[in-house]
Structure 1
Amino acid sequence: MIVTIDGPAGTGKSTAARGLAERLGFEFLDTGAMYRALGWACLEAGVDPADADAAARIAETTAIEFRDDRTWVGDLDVTEAIRTSPVSQAASLVAQIPAVRRELVRQQRRLADGRRIVCEGRDQGTVAFPEAECKFFITADPEERARRRQGELLAKGVSVDLKKLLAEQKARDRRDETRAEAPLVPADDAIGIDTTSMTGGEVLDMLERHVRSRMTGEN
């Protein structure tokens, strides 16, 4: 069984997807980390993340794996390295490149093949796994999303202006929603959840109820 959770950054979808996988005993696929890992690989190689041909070559030759809840590029653990602001911007740029998206979708399907898995990202229910048994699209108020991101960074000792975060977030949303290939949109059969006024536990409970209901219906 494949469960997809899509939505923009700061909605709580990553935390919810990871928690849902744990509750269900499923595996977890963080596709956002894959784009971050590729953005990191481009920066490390001195490649402009906006250079479509160069980024596509990096994508085709970069082995991204998940082991023990860590993200690896080849034999390097990049779990922390891919969570910086420069890498976030690089990830957003490579994500606009059709050839890159096609290659990473191919890798995502390979990683999910034959597994019970929760896949989190921006195009999981529409492009990567259109036949997934259960799909969600999570949203939240833009300012609340920016505040959440600011809180995450402050917890890591990084001070960032809220207005700057909000501006960067809006720019990324615009790129994600208007890109030619695999734009950020909910699947027609996705269940929409607005997490603005919900706690993480409430979101997780709602997701679990829907998935278990679907699982029961299939038995």
Structure 2
Amino acid sequence: MYSIAIDGPAGSGKSTLARALADKLNISYIDTGAMYRALAYKAFKNNLDLCDFSNLENFLKGTHIDYKDGKIYLDKEDVSDKIRSQGISKKASVLSKNQKVRDYLVNIQREISKRRSVVMEGRDIGTVVLPNADLKIFLTASIDIRTRRRYDQLKEKDKSVDFEKLKRDIMSRDENDIKRKNSPLKKAEDAFEFDNSNMNLEESINYILDLLRGKNVI
């Protein structure tokens, strides 16, 4: 078994690349951000204050999250499509600052990686979740490219999405992710960083496959 960690800011193409790479290698794709969004979605549905979780431990104990066949399951329900709104993403960003939440989800993520080979993507995979990953990637792209990618993705479901507002939201999330006290977004010392602003998906996959071959992982 082996593990590939892909980190990077919002809209850098982590999910698309990680999913395609996992398909290419016939291993499991794990979107850790979806796990935070799933928790945020449940908190939102139950009208819980994300900044004041006095009952947080019971909330987490009563929650079951798993990733199967590229889909995220919350309490055995597939919520893959229900957690993709910008509103849920904002709430997930707030929730991710809580150390108890991070500890809970990191434990799940590590257990998954022990059971099967994975391509795992997020914001602290190479630094915190899988510090001994066989390959670590830090993926970046320009803010305009990242906004355009997220805009095109959201536009399919919400025709009212505004490009400039979305850009501000992404920049704000970048700042929150970088400056948060618990597991901030940063490049692992042994990660390969590359900017895919002007690369298509096939080029990005081939770049990583070459890295894997160079490290004798595949």
Where do residues 22-41 of structure 1 align in structure 2 (5 Å cutoff)?
22-41=23-42
Q: How far off is 1:157 after superposition?
A: 4.5
Q: Which stretches in structure 2 are left out of the alignment for 5+ residues?
A: none
- Please name the residue that 2:8 is paired with: 7
2: distance between equivalents of 1:63 and 1:18?
23
1:52 offset after TM fit, Å?
A: 4.4
Shift of 1:163: 0.9
Percent identity reads 37
Give me the whole-angstrom Cα distance separating, in 2, the residues matched to 1:172 and 1:98.
18
Supply the distance in 2 between the matched residues of 1:166 and 1:114 (Cα, whole angstroms): 38
Q: Is contact 1:52–1:97 with CA below 8 Å preserved after alignment?
A: no
Q: Distance in 2 between matches of 1:202 and 1:40?
A: 34
Q: Which moved more, 1:62-71 or 1:78-87?
A: 62-71
- Name the CA shift for 1:42/1:35 in 2 (closer, same or farther; >3 Å): same
Contact 2:65 2:76 in 1 (8 A): no
Query: Using the alignment, how far apart are the partners of 2:195 and 2:148 within structure 1?
Result: 16
Structure richer in helix, relative to its length: 1
Q: For residues 126-165 of structure 1, what are the structure 2 equivalents within 5 Å?
A: 126-165=127-166
1:74 maps to 75
- Cα separation, 2, equivalents of 1:207 and 1:137: 11
- Conserved in 1, the CA contact under 8 Å of 2:43 and 2:50? yes
State the alpha-carbon separation in 1 of the partners of residues 14 and 77 from structure 2. 26
Aligned-residue offset at 1:60: 3.5
The normalised TM-score by structure 1 is 0.93
Give the corresponding residue for 1:98.
99
* Cα RMSD, aligned residues only: 1.6
Q: Which residue of 1 aligns with 2:123?
A: 122
Assess, with a 3 A threshold, how the Cα gap between structure 1 residues 90 and 204 changes in structure 2: closer, same or farther.
same
Cα contact 1:38–1:58 (8 A) shared by 2 = no
**1:55 and 1:94 in contact (8 A); partners too:** no
**Length-normalised TM-score, structure 2:** 0.94
The question of 1:177 aligning with 2:178 is answered yes
Give the length in aligned residue pairs.
Answer: 217
Distance 2:169 2:61 in 1: 28
> Which residue does the alignment assign to 1:166?
167
Residue 174 of structure 1 aligns with an amino acid whose one-letter code is: E
Does the alignment pair 1:108 with 2:112?
Answer: no
| 4+ residue runs over 3 A deviation | 52-57
Classify 1:100/1:15 alpha carbon distance in 2 versus 1 (closer, same or farther; 3 Å): same
What is the CA-CA distance between 1:108 and the residue it aligns to?
A: 0.5
- Indicate the residue corresponding to 1:192 in structure 2: 193
CA contact (8 A) 2:178 2:186 kept: yes
Q: CA deviation at 1:212?
A: 2.6
**Does the 8 A contact of 1:59 with 1:104 survive in 2?**
no
Aligned partners of 2:144, 2:58: CA distance in 1, in Å?
Answer: 37
The answer on whether the counterparts of 2:30 and 2:70 sit within 8 Å (CA) in structure 1 is: no
